[in-house]
Amino acid sequence: MEIFGILFVLGSLASAFALFSKDKDKHPLDVYKEYPIYLNAAQAYREANSDFAKDLKQLKPYIPEFDKIYNERYDLSLDGKFLTIADLEKGEAEKLINDVGGESYINGRYTYLTLRRLADLSKVSPVAHFSIRPEGKISTTTLISYDTSGCVAEDNEIVEMKWENKKNSFSEPGFYTIKLKIRDKNGNWSDSFEKEIKVTELPGIRALESYDNSFFMLYNNGKVLSRGKNENGQLGIGSLNPMMTLSYQSIHDGIVEAACGEGFNIFRTVEGHVYAAGTNRYGELGLGDKANQKLISEIWGLENIKQISAGKRFGAALDIFGNVFVWGDNSDDQLMMEEGTDSVYPVKLEGVSDIKQISCGSNFGLALKYDGTVVGWGDNTYGQLGVGYKGRLAEPTITLFTNVKSVHAGDRFSLVVTENGRVYGAGNNAYNQLGMRGKSEMLFPQEVPKVKDVETLRVKESLTLMINTMGRVSVWGNINGPGQKPIPEPIDFPNITYAKAYTNNGKKCFIIDGANIMYIISDLTGKNERHEMYENFREFIESVDSKES
């Protein structure tokens, strides 16, 4: 029987101990009631201090009404492991020791009651242990996982874990010591187990992203530079103030992906969480309401996200399990919900699973499955979903694209890159955004001529930027908006031999080459902006500091 059960059952004996109280005592002894209180207080003290209390009054902070139970016949042993009681009759003392058990004993006029319950003593001492993945180099954008399967506890029951300095990622380089203690079902704590890790900082620029007057430069170390008009607070910096030059904001630390919509932006962190800021008329921030936000706010319910994408007024996220979540505007069934019903919360797309990559067009979506097929839904006014016919699709539909490596959705047109490095497109071609002359729209996928060995694309509005496996850059479609003649077929940028970071905002192309020169290309005259960039974030910070000083 558990000791507390025994103590309550024997509660009727408490009056017997009152007979032994001396006149100097503040109140009669009630050992069966008071012993558990001291026992719990002693254990709480040890958990907080990693040692035994040596004086009964040290337990006072752990006993709310200490003065009401304190009796001068009580004390603690010199090692703090026993509650001692003076002047109990031998028979009563022997019965109490038998009930409490453990290492309790009698020594002269004192009865020693163990402050560890026999029933609670662990047959197996708890041992804390953990391993860290990955085992190799850990950087400021490494997602860390912890494996505690090496812990030892009686019946493998771990009631509580106490961590120190445990994080899924560390935003700053340095050495970090991580500690773990475990408590078993008997209330016993293990010794601390610890590991020291070294967090490094990866050099270089990770990606560029831009659309609708927002621009983000993401470094490999998890730091971000941004600029833009910010009239809707879409930069997420807590104000509506524009940032006309690239600036660092610590609130963006840990962001490894950005996706720009119309007046709003969404962000993915290294931990797989998603944040949003900006205009929210259609619920495109996924925050549960339609109020604009000028400070990046987390979209609850999205976890383990590995990719994000933004359409004109809706957002999407792909998790590590291959599920797709969408939110915001549903005017063209891009959420596959009841017609005309927007969603201010992320909703999981039913019938869309085993997904490798996603891309949001203006009002439609594409999802690439691991088998190389593509699922499409939403607006299909121009046949952009590549299913061979027009008309919006309120249910996920397998397209005619096959053997696909990546999908890229624009404004009423779609392009895909196949495993053999070719490009196929469908939908609106009024601005030659499909990279070919001829028809104004195409319902069936057609191959883009004159391109091969394609690595990836960047598609926005009616403009396409293409990078091949050698880092060479080509462009086609409607560059720099109305008034500029569309580029009917893929044309190389001759002065860029290697692109390592790139984006397309629908009107201009931003490309950083191997020499860390950023080209801002708005036409094909060759008279484009050129800016020397800092490959490493620390160099940027040093340059800002030197200018300010």
* pLDDT at residue 410 in the model: 97
The whole domain housing 147 covers 131-200
Residue that finishes a domain, picked among 81, 100, 120: 120
Residue 128, classified by CB atoms within 10 Å of its CB into exposed (0-12), middle (13-18) or buried (19+), is buried
**Residue 113 is encoded by which pair of tokens?**
């009651």
Residues 13 and 69 in one domain: yes
Interatomic CA distance for residues 286 and 299, integer angstroms = 6
Residues 116 and 16 in one domain: yes
**Residue 377 is encoded by which pair of tokens?**
């839904």
Residue 79 lies in a domain: yes
pLDDT tens for each residue of 238-269:
999 999 999 999 999 999 999 999 999 999 99
The b-or-e profile of 358-369 (16+ CB within 10 A means b, else e) is bbbbbbbbbbbb
Residue 136 lies in a domain: yes
Instruction: Compute how many other C-beta atoms are within 10 angstroms of the C-beta atom of residue 108.
Output: 6
Distances (CA, A) of 68 to 20, 31, 37, 71, 84: 18, 13, 12, 9, 18
DSSP one-letter string for 375-398? EEEE--TTSTT-SSS-S-EEEEEE
Residues 9 and 108 in one domain: yes
CATH of the domain at 150: 2.60.40
Residue 11 lies in a domain: yes
CA triple 143-144-147, angle to 5 deg: 145
* pLDDT at residue 356 in the model: 98
Residue 231 lies in a domain: no
**Residue 415 is encoded by which pair of tokens?**
């392009």
Interatomic CA distance for residues 213 and 137, integer angstroms = 37
* pLDDT at residue 27 in the model: 61
Residue 293 lies in a domain: no
Residue that finishes a domain, picked among 120, 140, 160: 120
Residues 79 and 160 in one domain: no
Residues 139 and 110 in one domain: no
Interatomic CA distance for residues 365 and 372, integer angstroms = 16
Interatomic CA distance for residues 113 and 111, integer angstroms = 6
Distances (CA, A) of 115 to 46, 57, 58, 66, 124: 11, 15, 15, 17, 19
Interatomic CA distance for residues 544 and 205, integer angstroms = 18
Residues 139 and 196 in one domain: yes
Residues 16 and 111 in one domain: yes
Residues 80 and 136 in one domain: no
Instruction: Compute how many other C-beta atoms are within 10 angstroms of the C-beta atom of residue 19.
Output: 10
Residue 495 lies in a domain: no
Residues 9 and 90 in one domain: yes
Instruction: List the chain residues with pLDDT less than 50.
Output: 1-25
Residues 9 and 103 in one domain: yes
Residue that finishes a domain, picked among 147, 176, 200: 200
Cβ atoms of 99 and 92 closer than 8 Å: no
Residue 66 lies in a domain: yes
In single-letter form, the type of residue at position 265 comes to: N
Residue 318 lies in a domain: no
DSSP one-letter string for 267-278? EEETTS-EEEEE
* pLDDT at residue 423 in the model: 98
Residues 178 and 69 in one domain: no
Cβ atoms of 299 and 309 closer than 8 Å: no
Q: Strand pairing partners for 295? A: 237
Domain total of the chain: 2
Nearest residue to 84 via CA among 47, 42, 24, 27: 42
Residues 145 and 75 in one domain: no
Q: Residue 134: is the preceding peptide bond cis (ω within 30°)?
A: yes
The b-or-e profile of 376-385 (16+ CB within 10 A means b, else e) is bbbbbbbbbb
Instruction: Compute how many other C-beta atoms are within 10 angstroms of the C-beta atom of residue 44.
Output: 15
**Predicted TM-score of the model (pTM):** 0.79
**Residue 225 is encoded by which pair of tokens?**
């530079």
Cβ atoms of 190 and 181 closer than 8 Å: yes
